Amino acid sequence: MLVSCDFEDSPWLQVSESYKEIGAAGGDFTFQVYSNYEWAATPSTAALTVTPLSGEGNAVTTVTVTVPENIEEKAVEYAININTSSTSGGQFISYVLRIYQSGQASAN
């Protein structure tokens, strides 16, 4: 059975991750964005590298995030805001991916 979907009805946005933990050494991880409208990602700090920063609608996009090394003992929290770029029907969708990075081990 073939089912037809009208992706233009109302905007939707899904992100494969809502929370990510990463070690003090930093590194890369990926997540997927699913949306029927164009979307944009905005990291909470320029220290995060997010590629790509935006995507087309009606697609699944794999996004790579590079987290720098945390040289402090204190843990760090980051966020990436992902938003649809359409306000179709007055709807605007926003999603936040939170990243927790542990601190360096104490030298004691």
**Residue 100: what pLDDT?**
98
What distances in angstroms separate CA 26 from CA 35, 56, 79, 81, 100, one per listed residue? 28, 29, 15, 20, 11
Domain locations along the chain: 13-101
pTM of this prediction exceeds 0.85: no
Span 14-43, average pLDDT = 95
- Of 18-32, 55-69, 82-96, the one with minimum mean pLDDT is 82-96
Annotation: CATH topology of 13-101: Immunoglobulin-like (2.60.40)
Cis amide bond preceding 52, omega within 30? yes
Beta-carbon contacts of 9 under 8 Å, excluding residues fewer than 6 positions away, are none
Q: Is 44 helix (H, G, I), strand (E, B) or coil?
A: coil
Kindly indicate the confidence band of residue 37, based on its pLDDT and cuts at 50, 70 and 90. Answer: confident
